[in-house]
Chain A
Amino acid sequence: MHAHRNYVHNEEELQRTSIVQKSRAAFGNPNRLCFLVIYEGKEIMTPPKDQTATKAQTEQDNTVHALPKTRKMTGAQMVMEALAENGVDTIFGYPGGAVLPIYDALHQQKKVKHVLVRHEQGAGHAAEGYARSTGKVGVCLVTSGPGATNVVTALTDALMDSIPMVCITGQVPTFLIGTDAFQEADTTGITRACTKHNYLVRDVNDLARIIHEAFHVARSGRPGPVLIDLPKDVQFAEGPYISKDQAPMHMYQPRTEPDMDLIEEAVELMASAKRPVFYTGGGIINAGPKASEALVKLVRETGFPITSTLMGLGSFPASDKQWLGMLGMHGTYEANWAMHDCDVMICIGARFDDRVTGALKGFSPHSKKIHIDIDPSSINKNVHVDIGIVGDAGKAAEAMLKVWKARGFKADPDAMKTWNAQIDKWRDIKCLQYKNSKDVIKPQYALERLSDAIKKDGRDTFISTEVGQHQMWAAQFLPFEKPNRWLTSGGLGTMGYGLPAAIGAQMAHPDALCIDVAGEASILMNIQELTTAVQYRLPVKIFILNNQWMGMVRQWQELLHGERYSQSYSESLPDFVKLAEAYGGIGLRATTPAELDDVIEKMMKTDKVTIVDVCVDQKENCFPMIPSGKAHNEMILSADPSQYDKKLV
């Protein structure tokens, strides 16, 4: 009762309410996004400006340099201007009612290219692929309501894997927010937990500043997705454009310089190590190619062995003799045992994820741990470390190398000899070995052949994956020599990521070889993006390891759920060759090992999107494996317990 009385007492509130009601009644058809506003009995059309004025403005825009720094333009024009100013050349998006003004502005400029996807999730993952393969901020543009909700998975994916991304969503006009208007969703509410930060822009005067700020936040510190929710009336409204150098410096300035005292302490600990190991992650990739260079120098100078997480593959060349392979649940025997037995662990840009550590109580029990991370909250989150250093992975690696050299440190040669001999023993297990067959294509064999073909081809190669066994096999069997060439959904494990991510990478690198290593189940999750690849003539290769099962699910059911294969068979699969052709691409198939090389060779030469349906062994499992809840030293090498020490199973 009281609350009600309050409203009635507030004259201003009462008046405003009636305006909203009047305007809502005026819309009549709730399915129509309408910009007829009734205010004090008068009809007002937004935008009030006529079209010719807008056009003249756009023409002016093309001669930027001659103009004073604050120019008036519409919110929609500001979006395009600010994107260009932030170095964006390509965006991925899908139009709709609430972003039409932006699409109109897009149509009238030439600086930013738009890639029309076929589902907003695709836009998000394509932006991620673009970002991961270039080191730049990926951008997507989607409409309100369903457009925004469709992009939520990709935002979460980018948050988990620290991918810099700016997502612009349309929103219903400000005066309709909160009325359950057509295609209204509380986008900032929905995405608060899956973005690094988000904005709802209520005033066009704030827009340019917010866009610059969004790019700053997306790429600073630990990168992540930033969302800007932009109501349609703000897109139409006119205001001054504030250029990047005019925008106030934002107070969000995460620390990047490592504390040198701690670096000294860390390097001293490294120099005293008898069984050291580097454990690196996606943070190195995010810190840019220079960080990888610094890491390589540091690792070579110390002579220590190195392993990396799924997200960090490529930051250290896989062909190097110090490389142990990936660690974690499906990591190599040598990497996981080195982690378990080491006495000094140097973690740079990784975050002790449960898929990496295995059971925490058995995680590397005898080591002193150094952890370098740009995000203070990652330090001591899951695992207690002895030296925690906040800073940029590349800067820290450079600083460590400097100190190591300046103080004339050398790894203890005797200790290293023993340690390397032990590592060689673990390597000798040959944990990635599999039993090949003449009749049926083993998925590992298919990837070995692909790997060979890639090396022979010589083009710069970007590999994306979907999620499942094929993803783990790709991580194990493909060679990663350089950073930014490996695009995979690590933290969220999003099936359907690979094809749009490959499209994003191919847009950024038109001459490169872009291959999505896929599973037959995952690929169907964003198969519609084949059309996008056809439209933009992107020769993306989709290498399906078709085992007719949700293989990873089937593997867990076999090993952990009494072989009860509940709903994991890929029933009623399409004919992938015909499917590719129906979309206007090329379809190829290999059913026997003998056909494989020929098919791969054909695939390498295609100039259109190509699906290769590689019919592989249906029952192959992915090993080695640390069963969930077990420690690194409890990993298993095959499902057959008789072959190995019983207590390992």
Chain B
Amino acid sequence: MVKKKSDSGKSVYGSTIDNGVASAHTLSILVDNEPGVLARVVGLYSGRGYNIESLTVAETDHANNLSRITIICSGTPMVIEQIKHQLDRLVPVHRVTDLTLQGEHVERELALIKVSSTGEKRIEALRTADIFRARVVDSTHESFVFEVTGSSAKVNAFIELMRGLGMVDVSRTGVAAMSRGTKAI
């Protein structure tokens, strides 16, 4: 899951000596909003054998033609350091910020969940949605579409509960993140 290099014990040269412990990092990457920029970032991950756990991207500054890419990926401190340097090397990348290292930050994700059920299950789904402060954004006699926002853990928990209540579809945005406090990323 972490990085292909971890199974490169097969290489006759051995892998880079790295005794660090892998953990997930949230990287915020400010890029020029130009064709191919996402392909460059994603290609870097696949080409160098890193794994992306979550990815969101959208234009965030129209006037300056900038987009923000938020990526969650796991690795030892040395691997994360390498990923950040590799990203920073890309010409359209303006800034790479490691929100996990930078200190406290908030992460939010939005999910749409379709539940198709009737009777008691249907009522239970609605009750659970209420507890999670999920909104009903579409409804038929046999289905609901819920919208839930929150941390990935909360979204996961909600999805787990809905699974037993007739869940037929999930669509998640991936994580958007920002540091706490007054300073901009």
Partners in one complex: yes
Q: Enumerate chain A interface residues (CB-CB to B < 8 A).
A: 188-189, 192-193, 196-198, 200, 217, 222, 251-252, 354, 357-361, 375-377, 379-384, 628-629
* B91 touches A (CB below 8 Å): yes
Judging by beta carbons under 8 Å apart, are A629 and B78 in contact? no
* B127 touches A (CB below 8 Å): no
* B16 touches A (CB below 8 Å): yes
Judging by beta carbons under 8 Å apart, are A354 and B13 in contact? yes
Judging by beta carbons under 8 Å apart, are A192 and B43 in contact? yes
Judging by beta carbons under 8 Å apart, are A383 and B16 in contact? yes
The answer to whether A189 and B82 touch (CB under 8 A), given A358-B13, A361-B17, is no
Cβ of A196: which chain B residues have Cβ within 8 Å of it?
A: 91
Cβ of B39: which chain A residues have Cβ within 8 Å of it?
A: 189, 192
Cβ of A379: which chain B residues have Cβ within 8 Å of it?
A: 85
Cβ of A629: which chain B residues have Cβ within 8 Å of it?
A: 12-14
Q: How far is the CA of A389 from the CA of B109 in the complex (A)?
A: 39
Q: Nearest chain B CB to A21's CB is how many angstroms away?
A: 23
Judging by beta carbons under 8 Å apart, are B16 and A193 in contact? no
Judging by beta carbons under 8 Å apart, are B88 and A376 in contact? yes
Query: Which residues between 82 and 99 of chain B lie within 8 Å of chain A, taking CB atoms?
Result: 82, 85-86, 88-92, 94
Beta-carbon nearest neighbor of A627 in chain B: B12
Closest 9 CB pairs of A and B: A629-B12, A377-B85, A197-B91, A376-B85, A360-B14, A354-B13, A361-B14, A377-B86, A628-B12
Cβ of B81: which chain A residues have Cβ within 8 Å of it?
A: 380
Q: How far is the CA of A381 from the CA of B82 in the complex (A)?
A: 6
* B121 touches A (CB below 8 Å): no
- Known pairs A359-B13, A360-B14 / 4 extra A-B pairs, C-beta < 8 Å: A192-B36, A197-B90, A384-B17, A384-B18
Q: How far is the CA of A358 from the CA of B43 in the complex (A)?
A: 28
Judging by beta carbons under 8 Å apart, are A628 and B13 in contact? yes
Judging by beta carbons under 8 Å apart, are A193 and B94 in contact? no
Candidates A222, A357, A377; contact of B82 at CB < 8 Å: A377
Beta-carbon nearest neighbor of A216 in chain B: B91
Judging by beta carbons under 8 Å apart, are A360 and B13 in contact? yes
Cβ of A188: which chain B residues have Cβ within 8 Å of it?
A: 36
Cβ of B108: which chain A residues have Cβ within 8 Å of it?
A: none
Cβ of B16: which chain A residues have Cβ within 8 Å of it?
A: 360, 381-384
Q: Nearest chain A CB to B95's CB is how many angstroms away?
A: 10
Q: List 10 A-B contacts (CB under 8 A).
A: A197-B90, A198-B36, A252-B91, A375-B85, A375-B89, A376-B88, A377-B88, A380-B82, A381-B82, A384-B78
Q: How far is the CA of A376 from the CA of B86 in the complex (A)?
A: 8
By the criterion of a CB under 8 Å from any partner CB, how many residues of chain B are at the interface? 24
Q: How far is the CA of A605 from the CA of B108 in the complex (A)?
A: 74
Beta-carbon nearest neighbor of B32 in chain A: A251
Cβ of A377: which chain B residues have Cβ within 8 Å of it?
A: 82, 85-86, 88-89
* B15 touches A (CB below 8 Å): yes
Q: How far is the CA of A359 from the CA of B12 in the complex (A)?
A: 7
Return the CB mask of B92-123 against A: 1 if under 8 Å, else 0: 10100000000000000000000000000000
Return the CB mask of B11-25 against A: 1 if under 8 Å, else 0: 011111110000000
* B164 touches A (CB below 8 Å): no
Beta-carbon nearest neighbor of A381 in chain B: B82
Q: Nearest chain B CB to A391's CB is how many angstroms away?
A: 15
Q: How far is the CA of A357 from the CA of B11 in the complex (A)?
A: 13
Candidates A197, A380, A628; contact of B78 at CB < 8 Å: A380
Q: Nearest chain A CB to B84's CB is how many angstroms away?
A: 9
Q: Nearest chain A CB to B16's CB is how many angstroms away?
A: 5
Cβ of A376: which chain B residues have Cβ within 8 Å of it?
A: 85, 88-89
Query: Which residues between 33 and 90 of chain B lie within 8 Å of chain A, taking CB atoms?
Result: 35-36, 39-40, 43, 47, 78, 81-82, 85-86, 88-90
Beta-carbon nearest neighbor of A628 in chain B: B12
Q: Nearest chain A CB to B180's CB is how many angstroms away?
A: 27
Cβ of B35: which chain A residues have Cβ within 8 Å of it?
A: 200
Cβ of B18: which chain A residues have Cβ within 8 Å of it?
A: 384
Cβ of A384: which chain B residues have Cβ within 8 Å of it?
A: 16-18, 78
Q: Nearest chain B CB to A180's CB is how many angstroms away?
A: 19
Cβ of B92: which chain A residues have Cβ within 8 Å of it?
A: 197
Q: Nearest chain B CB to A166's CB is how many angstroms away?
A: 14
Q: Nearest chain B CB to A439's CB is how many angstroms away?
A: 38
Q: How far is the CA of A539 from the CA of B86 in the complex (A)?
A: 42
Judging by beta carbons under 8 Å apart, are A359 and B36 in contact? no
Judging by beta carbons under 8 Å apart, are B40 and A192 in contact? yes
Q: How far is the CA of A588 from the CA of B48 in the complex (A)?
A: 47
Q: How far is the CA of A217 from the CA of B12 in the complex (A)?
A: 36
Beta-carbon nearest neighbor of A254 in chain B: B89
Cβ of A357: which chain B residues have Cβ within 8 Å of it?
A: 13
Q: How far is the CA of A376 from the CA of B81 in the complex (A)?
A: 10
The answer to whether A360 and B82 touch (CB under 8 A), given A193-B43, A197-B91, A628-B12, is no
Q: How far is the CA of A357 from the CA of B40 in the complex (A)?
A: 30
Q: How far is the CA of A359 from the CA of B8 in the complex (A)?
A: 13
Cβ of A198: which chain B residues have Cβ within 8 Å of it?
A: 36
The answer to whether A193 and B47 touch (CB under 8 A), given A354-B13, A384-B78, is yes
Judging by beta carbons under 8 Å apart, are B94 and A251 in contact? yes
Q: Nearest chain B CB to A110's CB is how many angstroms away?
A: 33
Cβ of B88: which chain A residues have Cβ within 8 Å of it?
A: 376-377
Cβ of B40: which chain A residues have Cβ within 8 Å of it?
A: 192
Q: Nearest chain A CB to B65's CB is how many angstroms away?
A: 12
Q: Nearest chain A CB to B134's CB is how many angstroms away?
A: 24
Q: Nearest chain A CB to B92's CB is how many angstroms away?
A: 8
Beta-carbon nearest neighbor of B13 in chain A: A354
Q: Nearest chain A CB to B169's CB is how many angstroms away?
A: 14
Cβ of B15: which chain A residues have Cβ within 8 Å of it?
A: 360
Q: Nearest chain B CB to A226's CB is how many angstroms away?
A: 9
Q: Nearest chain A CB to B160's CB is how many angstroms away?
A: 29
Q: Nearest chain A CB to B79's CB is how many angstroms away?
A: 10
Q: Nearest chain A CB to B19's CB is how many angstroms away?
A: 10
Q: Nearest chain A CB to B27's CB is how many angstroms away?
A: 15
Q: Nearest chain B CB to A525's CB is how many angstroms away?
A: 26
Beta-carbon nearest neighbor of A375 in chain B: B89
Q: How far is the CA of A420 from the CA of B15 in the complex (A)?
A: 32
Beta-carbon nearest neighbor of A357 in chain B: B13
Q: How far is the CA of A251 from the CA of B30 in the complex (A)?
A: 13
Cβ of B91: which chain A residues have Cβ within 8 Å of it?
A: 196-197, 217, 252
Q: How far is the CA of A192 from the CA of B12 in the complex (A)?
A: 29
Q: How far is the CA of A531 from the CA of B92 in the complex (A)?
A: 41
Q: Nearest chain A CB to B106's CB is how many angstroms away?
A: 28
Q: Nearest chain B CB to A438's CB is how many angstroms away?
A: 40
Beta-carbon nearest neighbor of A222 in chain B: B89
Cβ of B89: which chain A residues have Cβ within 8 Å of it?
A: 222, 375-377
Q: Nearest chain B CB to A582's CB is how many angstroms away?
A: 43
Q: Nearest chain A CB to B88's CB is how many angstroms away?
A: 7
Q: How far is the CA of A358 from the CA of B11 in the complex (A)?
A: 11
Name the residue among B35, B82, B86, B92 with the largest chain A CB count within 10 angstroms: B82
